[in-house]
């Protein structure tokens, strides 16, 4: 999660080629994602991912809190969720990838459920053939009391279903602890209601 979040911050803070190079140095110094500190953290997190090690909960919470203060926090968390899902899918073994391609509805959903559990700590299941997920961990809520970090999970779950099951859905946050819900829950809905 923290690697995906910092990668998303770096990606969103990288300026586009817009011809304003004379202002580049001043602008770049103000972009968190392009700072030397973030570059150092990214290298550290990449090393931890290669070793299958985890980042301490307090560090993840602090990172989510920092990103949650940004005006584009939901955009960062959405991008990070998609990145985390793609990284989880990339770690699937060859046999699992072949199986999900051959039978995406059955085997793909099983693979998505496993990645959701390992990478996100989410319980992904079906309710009347509709994908539903819940997260028991309160990390996102503790870090961002407004629930903005919950966007990470919704985007990651939707990306898993797209990549492994072939479903183009949005995972709608139907229940959130930030709004008084018992738990955080997401339910699949057609990504574009005009084409469902």
Mean of pLDDT values over 129-150 = 89
SS3 134: strand
Contact of 128 with 116, CB cutoff 8 Å: no
> CA of 140: how far to CAs of 40, 120, 148, in Å?
24, 11, 8
At 196 the pLDDT is: 44
Q: What pTM was estimated for this model as a whole?
A: 0.82
pLDDT at 151 over 90: yes
Sorting pLDDT into bands at 50, 70 and 90, what band is 195? very low
Range of the domain at 113: 2-195
pLDDT band (50, 70, 90) for residue 38: confident
pLDDT of residue 126: 92
- Choose between 98 and 129: higher pLDDT: 129
Predicted confidence (pLDDT) at residue 63 exceeds the cutoff of 80: yes
- Using the predicted structure, report yes or no on whether residue 39 has a pLDDT greater than 70: yes
How much of the chain exceeds pLDDT 90, in percent?
32
CATH number at residue 63: 3.90.1520
159 or 30, higher pLDDT = 159
The structure tokens listed for 43 are 């290298």
Domain count, the chain: 1
Work out the average pLDDT over 118-129.
91
């Amino acid at each position: 999660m923290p690697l995906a979040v910092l990668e998303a911050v770096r990606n969103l803070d990288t300026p586009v080629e817009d011809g304003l190079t004379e202002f580049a140095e001043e602008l770049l110094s103000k972009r968190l994602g392009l700072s030397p500190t973030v570059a150092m953290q990214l290298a550290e997190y990449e090393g931890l991912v290669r070793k299958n090690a985890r980042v301490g909960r307090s560090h993840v919470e602090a990172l989510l809190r920092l990103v949650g203060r940004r005006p584009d926090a939901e955009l960062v968390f959405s991008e990070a969720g998609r990145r985390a899902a793609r990284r989880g899918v990339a770690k699937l073994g060859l046999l699992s990838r072949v199986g999900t391609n051959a039978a995406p509805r059955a085997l793909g959903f099983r693979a998505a459920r496993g990645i959701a559990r390992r990478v996100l700590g989410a319980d992904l299941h079906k309710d009347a053939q509709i994908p539903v997920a819940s997260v028991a961990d309160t990390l996102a809520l503790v870090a961002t009391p407004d629930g903005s970090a919950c966007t990470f999970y919704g985007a990651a779950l939707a990306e898993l279903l797209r990549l492994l099951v072939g479903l183009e859905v949005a995972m709608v946050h139907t229940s959130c602890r930030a709004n008084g819900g018992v738990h955080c829950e997401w339910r699949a809905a057609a990504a574009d209601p005009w084409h469902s």
